[in-house]
Structure 1
Amino acid sequence: MNPIQIPDDWDDRGLITFEEFCDLIRTPQRTVRDWRRRGIGPRWARFNGCGRLYITVAEARRFLRTATATTRPAQRKAGDAR
C-alpha cells in the first residue's frame, strides 16, 4: 500500500472539502465524522457557519504528519520477564 501524501505543488492555503479529504486519506466519511464528533482529527471550518465543511491543505498536512508519527515500543529482550 502506498503512503498517503499530499502533492507538493498544493498551496497550503488551498481548501479541501470533507469528501475530498476522506477520499485522500482513504477513510470512510462515517469514521471521519466520528472523529469530528469526538474532537479528534483535523480542524474543520464552515463558511458563514453553515454549508460544507472545509480543511486547509496545511491542516491536512499537519494531521497526516501527526497521525503517521508513530513511536515504536521498545522491543522486548530475550529473557525479559513481564
Structure 2
Amino acid sequence: MTIKPLGVPDEWDDNHILMFEEFCAFIRTPQRTVREWRRLRRGPRWWRFNGNGRLYTTVAELRRFLKAGE
C-alpha cells in the first residue's frame, strides 16, 4: 500500500472559497483540531462572511498550507 500526499487539483482556481467544513474534510482532519490550529494561529488564514458569518479560506491558502507541511 502506497500513501499518496494530498494535492490540490491544478484546475482549482486559487480564488475559490472553501468553507471550514470543506477544508477539514479535504485535509482529513477533525474540525476540533483545525479550530485549535486557528486558535494558535497555525494553518491557513481564515475570514468570515460579513465579519461575523461562517469561516472560509481560499484554495490559494490551502495550497500554501499544504506546501508548508512538505
Q: TM-score, normalised by structure 1?
A: 0.79
Higher relative contact order (CA 8 A, sep 6+): 2
Identity in percent: 63
Task: Report which of the two structures shows the higher radius of gyration computed on alpha carbons.
Answer: 1
Q: Which residue is 1:55 aligned to?
A: 57
Q: Residue 13 of structure 2: which of 6, 11, 14 is its match?
A: 11
Q: CA deviation at 1:50?
A: 1.2
Following superposition of structure 1 onto structure 2, how do residues 1-82 of structure 1 map, counting pairs within 5 Å?
1-68=3-70
Aligned-CA RMSD value: 0.8
Runs of 4+ in 1 over 2 A off after TM superposition: none
Hey, what's the Cα distance between the residues in 2 that align with 1:9 and 1:60? 14
**Normalising by the residue count of structure 2, what TM-score does the alignment of the two structures yield?**
0.91
User: Where in structure 1 are there 5+ consecutive unaligned residues?
Assistant: 69-82
Post-superposition offset of 1:32: 0.3
Per-residue deviation, residues 24-45 of structure 1 (Å, max 9, x unmatched): 1111100000000111111001
Alignment coverage as a number of residue pairs: 68
